[in-house]
Homo-oligomer: A and B are copies of this chain.
Amino acid sequence: MSRVRRPPEELFADAREGDRSALARLLSLIERGGADARAIGRLSHPLSGGAYMVGLTGAPGAGKSTLTSSAISHLRSLEIEVAVLAIDPSSPFTGGAILGDRVRMQEHATDPGVFIRSMATRGHLGGLTLATPEAVRLLDAVGREWVLVETVGVGQVEVEIAGKADTTVVVVNPGWGDSVQANKAGLMEIADVFVINKADRKGADQTRRDLEQMLDLGDLGHDAWRPPIVSTIGTTGEGVPEMWEAVLSHRAHAESSGLLEQRRTQRLRDELREIVAERLRERARELCSGDRWDQLTDEVVAHHTDPWSAADEMLAPVDA
C-alpha cells in the first residue's frame, strides 16, 4: 500500500465511497490535529448530523470492550451498521490498527458493516476533548448511522467525552460501591442508562438496589428521564438486547422531548469554545519563543522592565 501523502479532500471523497483505509488515514490526521484536522472538520460538518452517538463508559475492568463486542453482534443480527471509537489515553497508541489486544473485537474485523478504531492524540493541542468530536463528525459524514464511543470512566476528560454523547451508557459491576478506581459521582451524573455487567456475580441485586436508591434520592438533572438499569453478562451476550432497547427508548425520549437538540447544541458550543482556546494556546506557544522573547526575559531579569510590560509587548500583535 502506497503511503504517499494524499490531501484530506481526496481521502474524504474516497471514505464517502466506503474506502476504509482512507477513513483510517483521515482519523490518523485528526489525531495529529492542526490544519489537516481542521480541513477534515470543514469537509465533515455540512454532511454531519445523521449519526446517533452512544457513549459507553465505566471503571477499568468493568467489561466495556466485551460488552461493546456483544452489542456489535446484536446490532449486526439486526442488520444495523456501526462504528466504534475506543478512547484509551492510557495505552500506548496502537498506530490506528484494529485493536489487536481485544480478541473479541476481532471477530468483527472482516465485517464491512463494522468499523472499529482506537483513538489517541498524537500532538493534537486540543487533546481528546477536540479529537473525539472531530472523529465522530467524520464517521457521521461518511454515513455511519450509529457511532459508539467507549471510554474509561476514570479521568475527568474521558468521563466528559462519554457524557457528551446523545445517549450515555454507564457500565458498573456488582460491588461497584466498593471500587475506588472510577469517577463515581461523575458517572452517576452522565448516565442515561445503567448497565450492571457481570450480573452473574455475587452482589448484583445489592448493586441494583444501591443504584435505585441513588436515583430515588438525587435529582440527576435528567428531568422526565429516569435511567433504566439493565443487567448483562457481556461474555455470553445475555441482557445485551435489553441494553439496546434501553438505548433506543432513551433515544426516543431525547428526540421527542427536545433533549437531543439541546445536547447537540451544547456540544457544539462547548466544542467551539474549546477550538478558540486551542487556537489561543497555539498563539501563546508562538509568542513565547524567538529572539525578542529571549531579549525581553533578559530585560525582566535585569529589572530593566517588569513582566507585565514585557507581556504587553509580546501580546501587542494579539491585542489589536
User: Which A residues fall within an 8 A CB radius of B?
Assistant: 38, 41-42, 45-46, 48-49, 264-265, 268-269, 271-273, 275-277, 279-281, 283-284, 287-288, 296-297, 300-301, 303, 306-311, 314-315, 317-320
Contact = CB atoms under 8 A, between A and B. Distances in A.
Contacts of A311: 272, 275-276, 279
- Copies of this protein in the assembly total 2
B45 A310 contact: no
Given A269-B297, A296-B272, A301-B264, A41 B308 contact: yes
Contacts of A276: 284, 287-288, 311, 314-315
Contacts of A309: 42
Contacts of A48: 303
A276 B288 CA distance: 8
A46 B288 contact: no
A181 to B, nearest CB: 15
A44 to B, nearest CB: 8
A51 to B, nearest CB: 14
A154 to B, nearest CB: 18
Nearest to A48: B303
Contacts of A288: 272-273, 276
Given A276-B288, A284-B277, A288-B276, A268 B318 contact: no
Given A45-B300, A265-B297, A271-B307, 18 more contacts: A41-B306, A42-B306, A42-B308, A45-B307, A46-B306, A48-B303, A268-B307, A272-B288, A272-B300, A275-B307, A275-B308, A276-B311, A277-B284, A280-B280, A280-B284, A280-B318, A283-B318, A320-B320
B268 A297 contact: yes
Contacts of A287: 276
Contacts of A41: 306-308
Nearest to A267: B301
Contacts of A279: 311, 315
B42 A300 contact: no
Contacts of A271: 307
A197 to B, nearest CB: 30
A48 B302 CA distance: 11
Contact of A268 (B264, B277, B301, B315): B301
A180 B296 CA distance: 42
A288 B279 CA distance: 13
